Amino acid sequence: MPAPIRLRELIRTIRTARTQAEEREMIQKECAAIRSSFREEDNTYRCRNVAKLLYMHMLGYPAHFGQLECLKLIASQKFTDKRIGYLGAMLLLDERQDVHLLMTNCIKNDLNHSTQYVQGLALCTLGCMGSSEMCRDLAGEVEKLLKTSNSYLRKKAALCAVHVIRKVPELMEMFLPATKNLLSEKNHGVLHTSVVLLTEMCERSPDMLLHFRKLVPQLVRILKNLIMSGYSPEHDVSGISDPFLQVRILRLLRILGRSDDDSSEAMNDILAQVATNTETSKNVGNAILYETVLTIMDIKSESGLRVLAINILGRFLLNNDKNIRYVALTSLLKTVQTDHNAVQRHRSTIVDCLKDLDVSIKRRAMELSFALVNGNNIRGMMKELLYFLDSCDPEFKADCASGVFLAAEKYAPSKRWHIDTIMRVLTTAGSYVRDDSVPNLIQLITNSVEMHAYTVQRLYKALLDDISQQPLVQVSSWCIGEYGDLLVSGQCEEEEPIQVTEDEVLDVLEGLLVSNLSTPVTRGYSLTAIMKLSTRFSSVNRIKKVVSIYGSSIDVELQQRAVEYNALFKKYDHMRSALLERMPIMEKTASNGPTEIVQTNGETEPSVPDTKLPPLITQPANQANDLLDLLGGNDVVPVIQTTLPTKPASAGGELLDLLGDLSLSAIPPMTAYNKNGLKIEFTFERANPNPNIAVITIHATNTTEADMTEFVFQAAVPKTFQLQLLSPSSNIVPALNQGSVTQVIRVLNPQKQQLRMRVKLTYTHKGSPVQDLAEVNNFPPQSWQ
Amino acid sequence: MMHFLLLFSRQGKLRLQKWFTPVPEREKKKIVRDMTTMVLGRKPRSCNFLHWKDLKIVYKKYASLYFCCGLDAEENELLALEVLHRYVELLDKYFGNVCELDIIFNFEKAYFILDEFLLGGEVQETSKQVLSRSIEASDMLQETMEEYMSKPAF
């Protein structure tokens, strides 16, 4: 059989292949030849064949049939064979392979070989890919070699020990004695690997850390010698002596000095020296400075040193080299929590980095900018960040938008500014905001009562410009549905009110329904908004028509909504205005959590007295008008409660229990009404967490001998208040005080005005309907102060 | 520690792969693909650092070859650049004005040099001269045996 072709020959041949298929053919042919050669147990050319196999493996072809051959090479006496054999083992025989363990014996023998380069091969292989079992078996040999005076072997043994410890941490103890005089070595290779070994041990074991703390003075001395010594040709890199060793020592010092005052003090001087004397013109000097800064920030250094470190980072930020700017931003991000003020001094430089062309730098700068926002700089920072949001790549927009919302929520100087900022984000990056921002924003808008007119006006104008950004469209349609009446009445105080008619508004909303740009969710929003406007606008017929069209929509969600709204027009028209009234104040449990909306089965809220209410609305609206008339149209807002007691006791009861857990301030209860045997008592609690909300529970009891059935409690409050009535526990007040009807009222009183209330009671007693109106003025001062 | 070191060409052809942690074969291929896509997709004057999963990726282009390594999150990236540079210097010294073809045709030697420089993902020797001498001595050992056997090496 002719000699197998040489490695370089094969490489040359394969490179001439013009197509993948041609290459594959050559490889297959050669593999076949190699396989037969292996079968023949050819010792002479085994090395050559395995080398060729390794080349083909690098090209991506399978080479597993060479694994055993690598073992045979390792076992050979020839150095060339061993060299290729170990290389093959490292490439093909990781610990997942079955034959991996078979190497153990060979490695053990070679660790004791007479030639140091063979020992070196064994140490290298063990240290790169030894499995846990192998490490356990051979740890003793490694430990022996760690104590040798041969620096070539000692340095390799040290790193091999590091690998053993990583694989089998329990074996750490056995290396401890050998570390005794590692640092007294002059040889830099040994010094470097010893520092790595010590670092590994200290990171893994607090006991080791304590034990090695006493090495701090020695490490400081070594570092000092490196800096002070003159030019050393062996270790010089651009004028700096052995930067690799310097950095590793600085890292070990960091670990030893962390949370220990004495050690930190012992290294103060040398850190200051390195920080001030290192040459910064080349990357290598900056690498050392970088490590020094990290160490200074992590140990218990004195404040002067910390300021020095942050200033170094500040200088890094101005460096032309992108890598250095990047590294500075990452480090500042780590220290911004602990040294906030010092980092703030570099804020303008950091903000400039937002305009950098490099993507990695922009991202770091953005994260750092958000970390630096506080109450003092919010306006300026937000301007920069919004500008960044305008111009940045799409990959940043979602994170930036979320960051802006969070910062605005925490530090907004005024409600108007907050709403303007949100508008800006929605209009510039509207398609990138996260899904949960829509409900969060709606909640925010609802609670900014005085800004409703301004908000709806701005959102309406934004819709006229652009209906492609879904979150913006959703928030806008929701607001128009809620506050459309403010929009057409031109009530805006904050800016020039726009003139818009009901038809124009409905045009816009209907446009959303038919547009291809709208998602199904958006269509749902706009249909509901249109429906809500039926109690706020006069063009009810138009709305009815739209709603009935969508009763046959293909979209099931839309169809269902339309059918239900249709039903509302037809059979439940008397409930419509009650159902579609203003939303109550929504309380947030946590800034990122879902908004907790305390609601009843329907929505009960004050509706703005609307003299344009068409005559089609029957009973409840008339009742509302009655209350209005009685109150002399005097800025009082009626509350109408839904007559849906389908979930009586449970809903009310649970709510009461919840509220019972909230912090009680001891406000005395009061009797609000007491006539004809019906007594209504109010008890008070403060709502958690909003102190402006008073929670009143009414208790209605009946001293007569007959039950009061179909009991309905209604209340109205002055305009500066907002009121919400929850479901009553039942509609029957049992006779002779056998039980009571309870119901919860929540009153938002942001201006802390004196609480007054008009109540209307209706019930059936002994077969005849009873109705009464009363004013409640005797609220205790604590309930509204 | 360094988790892996890859050398690949502008066309994405792998010239050297060194793994310091046990990784399944399929995973290795995926990592190589990810690295080449990410690094080759970088704009020319970008910074040399990337994030990939929980590793820092440091890469540098030397002529037609990309040197790319994956590091633990606490490693010093600027120093990693120096490590890559040192490796290139060692190759340059050994081959004399090294170019990609040298590494293609003598890949096993590139590995031998790397194995004298790094062990278990850490630097084992910081002196260029000491390292070169070790390689020379090992080569001598090899050639001596080959001469004795009167057969050329490969």
Note which residues in 80-119 of chain B have CB less than 8 A from chain A. Answer: 81-83, 86, 104-105, 107-108, 111-112, 115-116, 119
B6 neighbourhood in chain A, CB within 8 Å: none
How many Cβ pairs closer than 8 A exist between chain A and B?
172
Which string of b and e fits A384-397 if b means at least 16 CB within 10 Å? bbbebbeebeeebb
CA dist A165 → A135, A171, B2 (Å): 9, 6, 16
Q: Which distant-in-sequence residues (6+ apart) come within 8 Å of A169 by Cβ?
A: A204
Which of A314, A349, A315 shows the shortest CA–CA distance to A332? A314
User: Which of A190, A192, A197, A367 best tests the B interface by mutation, with the highest count of B CBs <10 A?
Assistant: A192
Distance CA(A683)–CA(A780), nearest Å, equals: 10
- What pLDDT is stored for residue A583 in this prediction? 81
Q: Where are the beta strands (DSSP E) in A110-158?
A: none
Give the chain B residue whose CA is nearest to the CA of A4: B154
- Whether the pTM exceeds 0.90: the reply is no
Q: Look at phi and psi of residue A763 and say left if phi exceeds 0, alpha if psi is from -120 to 50, else beta.
A: beta
Amino acid identity at A488: V
Could you tell me which of A622, A625, A641, A645 has the C-alpha nearest to residue A633? A625
Q: Using the predicted structure, report yes or no on whether residue A76 has a pLDDT greater than 60.
A: yes
* Interchain proximity A291–B83, CB inside 8 Å: no
Domains along the sequence of chain A with CATH: 435-580 (no CATH), 670-783 (2.60.40.1230)
Nearest to B47 among A79, A129, A360 (CB): A360
Nearest neighbour of A192 by CB, restricted to B47, B126, B154: B126
Q: What is the pLDDT of residues A408-467, one digit of tens each?
A: 888 988 888 888 888 888 888 878 888 788 888 888 888 888 888 888 888 888 888 888
The Cα A135–Cα A252 span in angstroms is: 25
The one-letter amino acid at A523 = R
**pLDDT, tens digit, 9 for 90 and up, residues A305-360:** 998 999 999 999 999 899 999 999 999 988 888 888 888 889 989 999 998 888 88
- Confidence tier at A631 by pLDDT (50, 70, 90): very low
Compute how many other C-beta atoms are within 10 angstroms of the C-beta atom of residue A681: 17
Distance CA B7, CA B13 (A): 9
* Prediction ipTM score: 0.95
Point out the residue among A44, A87, A162 whose CB comes nearest to the CB of B108: A87
> Which residue on chain A is closest to B43 by alpha carbon?
A358
Nearest to A11 among B17, B104, B119 (CB): B104
* Residue A427 in tokens: 């209009």
Tell whether the model's pLDDT for residue A636 goes beyond 60: no
Q: Which of B60, B78, B101, B128 to mutate to test the interface with A (most CBs of A within 10 A)?
A: B78
Q: How far apart are CA A472 and CA A459, in angstroms?
A: 8
Positive or negative, the Cα torsion across A464, A470, A474, A479?
negative
Q: Which helix (H) or strand (E) holds A696?
A: strand A693-702
For tokens 């060339």, the residue is A80
**Domain count within chain B:** 1
Q: Out of A160, A162, A287, whose CB is closest to B79? A: A287
* Contact at CB, A60 and B29, closer than 8 angstroms: yes
Phi then psi for residue A180, to 5 deg, are -55, -50
Scanning every residue of chain A, which has its alpha carbon at the shortest distance from the alpha carbon of B125?
A189
CB contact under 8 A, B120 and A359: no
- pLDDT confidence bin for A585, thresholds 50/70/90: confident
Q: Which domain holds residue B13?
A: 2-150
CATH code of the domain containing B135: 3.30.450.60
- H/E stretch holding A664 reads none
A94 CB neighbours in chain B (<8 A) are 19, 22-23
- For chain A, give percent helix, strand, coil, nearest 5: 60, 10, 30
Encode A162-214 in three state secondary structure. Answer: HHHHHHCHHHHHHHCHHHCCHHHCCCHHHHHHHHHHHHHHHHHCHHHHHHHHH
Q: Which residues of B touch A119 (CB under 8 A)?
A: none
pLDDT tens figures, A381-416: 999 999 999 888 888 888 899 889 889 888 988 888
pLDDT in tens, A698-722: 889 888 888 888 888 888 888 778 8
**What amino acid occupies position B54?**
D
Looking at the complex, report in whole angstroms how far the Cα of residue A35 sits from the nearest Cα belonging to chain B: 17
Residue A574 CA to residue A544 CA, distance in Å, equals: 15
Q: pLDDT value at position B137? A: 93
What per-residue confidence (pLDDT) applies to A754? 81
pLDDT value of residue A517 = 87
Residue B12 to chain A, least CA–CA distance (Å)? 11
Closest CA to B3 of B108, B142, B121: B121
DSSP calls for A49-108: HHHHHHHHHHHT---GGGHHHHHHHHHSS-HHHHHHHHHHHHHH--TTSGGGGGHHHHHH
State how far residue B23 is from chain A, nearest Cα, in angstroms.
Answer: 8
| B125–A127 CB contact, under 8 Å | no
Give Cα separations from A163 to A45, A95, A103, A142, B64 (angstroms). Answer: 33, 14, 17, 11, 33
Sheet containing A693-702, strands listed edge to edge, beginning at the edge strand earlier in sequence: A670-675, A678-686, A693-702, A741-748, A722-725
* Interchain CB distance below 8 Å, A152 and B152: no
Residues in chain B with CB shorter than 8 Å from the CB of A286 are: 78
A291–B76 CB contact, under 8 Å = yes
Contact A692, A750 (CB under 8 A): yes
